[in-house]
């Protein structure tokens, strides 16, 4: 992966994989609970990212409380796997 996963890209994945439209003005520090995204939705997103980047996302990323925590875990695991 050349560039880190962004909040906008994550919002798009949340819409396609978890069926939840994210208001981008909410920002990456809102909780997934506030945004209406549950851990099952995050597991679907993790599976998509595993396939997209060809490396597993860090275990436990699905337990992130905010999009920023999730982005940090995903970007760190993909960078480490590169």
**Domain made up of 7-81: CATH architecture:** Orthogonal Bundle (1.10)
The pLDDT of residue 69: 95
- Provide the residue ranges of all domains of the chain, joining segments of one domain with +: 7-81
Q: Residues 6 or more apart from 71 whose CB is under 8 A from it?
A: 4, 5, 6, 7, 10, 28
Give me the average pLDDT of each 10-residue run along the chain (82 residues).
83 93 90 92 90 84 93 86 57
Supply the pLDDT for residue 2: 59
Is this structure's pTM higher than 0.85?
yes
| Amino acid 37: pLDDT | 93
CA distances from 3 to 14, 26, 29, 73, 82 (A): 19, 23, 20, 14, 12
């Amino acid at each position: 992966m050349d560039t880190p996963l962004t909040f906008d890209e994550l919002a798009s994945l949340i819409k396609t994989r978890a069926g939840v439209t994210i208001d981008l003005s909410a920002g990456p520090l809102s909780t997934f609970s506030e945004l209406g995204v549950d851990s099952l939705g995050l597991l679907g997103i993790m599976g998509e990212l595993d396939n997209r980047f060809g490396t597993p996302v860090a275990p436990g990323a699905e337990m992130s409380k905010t999009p920023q925590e999730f982005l940090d875990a995903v970007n760190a695991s993909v960078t480490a796997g590169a």
